[in-house]
């Protein structure tokens, strides 16, 4: 994921949206990579947010919107269990992203509803989901930037 670049300025809509989403996904994974235990799971703010918690949460969000897997407890998606390793959670995130990208690639028109809504009563369009995922992932990438800097002083993408 770490070699992902933003899309070209002249790319079509789908390529642009997916390109920015992949760029942000890569940033999140990079912030969790190479940070040893216990720092990767240590909360950096009073709310208890950790880099590993962000990875776990974003995995659940990817699976919810693109793969139709509902999450029973969104708050719990922010907390890695003691037996969940950074490697396992990062692999799970990368797998969710890979599966999500297959769903996105198969969508011929962004105005169509997502094919696997977790809650069929409100089925958003693929365009809406892509924009929402850019917002969601970007927000948490910023959190990960701050938490990583607090943990070891590392800055930058």
pLDDT confidence band for 127 (50 / 70 / 90) = very high
pLDDT reported for residue 21? 98
Domain with 78 in it: what CATH number? 1.20.120.450
The half-sphere exposure of 68 on its side-chain side, counting CA atoms within 13 A, is: 11
Mark 102-140 as b/e (b = at least 16 C-beta within 10 Å): ebbeebeebeeebeebbeeeeeeebbebbbebbebbbeb
Contacts of 110 (CB under 8 A, 6+ apart): 13, 14, 17, 125, 126, 127, 130
pLDDT at residue number 137: 98
Domain of residue 142: give its range. 13-152
Q: What local confidence, expressed as pLDDT, does residue 119 receive?
A: 86
Give me the pLDDT at residue 1, please. Answer: 61
Q: What is the mean pLDDT of residues 78-83?
A: 96
- As a whole number of angstroms, the distance between CA 37 and CA 85 comes to 9
Inside any domain, residue 52: yes
Q: How far is CA 44 from the centre of its chain?
A: 19
Question: Nearest Cα to 144, choosing from 57, 80, 54, 72?
Answer: 54
What are 88-125's pLDDT values in tens digits?
999 999 999 999 999 999 999 999 999 998 888 889 99
Instruction: Give tens-digit pLDDT for 33-74.
Output: 999 999 999 999 999 999 999 999 999 999 999 999 999 999
Number of domains in the chain: 1
Q: Could you give phi then psi for residue 97, rounded to 5 degrees?
A: -65, -45
The answer on pLDDT for 7 being more than 90 is: no
Residue whose C-alpha is closest to residue 101's, from 19, 4, 12: 19
In a domain, 7, yes or no: no
Q: What is the pLDDT of residue 122?
A: 82
Which residues sit opposite 27 in a β-bridge?
Answer: none
At residue 2 the predicted structure's pLDDT band, cuts being 50, 70 and 90, is: low
**Structure token digits, residue 44:** 């950096």
In-domain check, residue 142: yes
Q: Exposed/middle/buried for 9, CB within 10 Å: 0-12, 13-18, 19+?
A: exposed
Residue 30 covered by a domain: yes
């Amino acid at each position: 994921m770490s070699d992902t670049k933003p899309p070209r300025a002249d790319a079509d809509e789908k390529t642009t949206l997916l390109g920015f989403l992949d760029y942000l996904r890569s940033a999140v994974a990079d912030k969790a990579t190479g940070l040893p235990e216990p720092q990767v799971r240590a909360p950096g703010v009073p709310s208890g947010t950790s880099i590993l918690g962000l990875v776990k949460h974003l995995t659940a969000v990817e699976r919810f919107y693109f793969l139709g897997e509902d999450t029973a407890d969104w708050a719990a998606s922010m907390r890695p269990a003691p037996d969940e390793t950074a490697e396992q959670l990062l692999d799970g995130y990368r797998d969710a992203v890979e599966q999500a990208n297959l769903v996105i690639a198969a969508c011929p028109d962004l105005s169509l509803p997502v094919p696997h809504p977790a809650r069929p009563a409100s089925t958003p369009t693929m365009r809406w989901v892509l924009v929402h995922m850019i917002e969601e992932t970007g927000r948490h990438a910023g959190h990960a930037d701050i938490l990583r800097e607090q943990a070891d002083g590392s800055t930058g993408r």
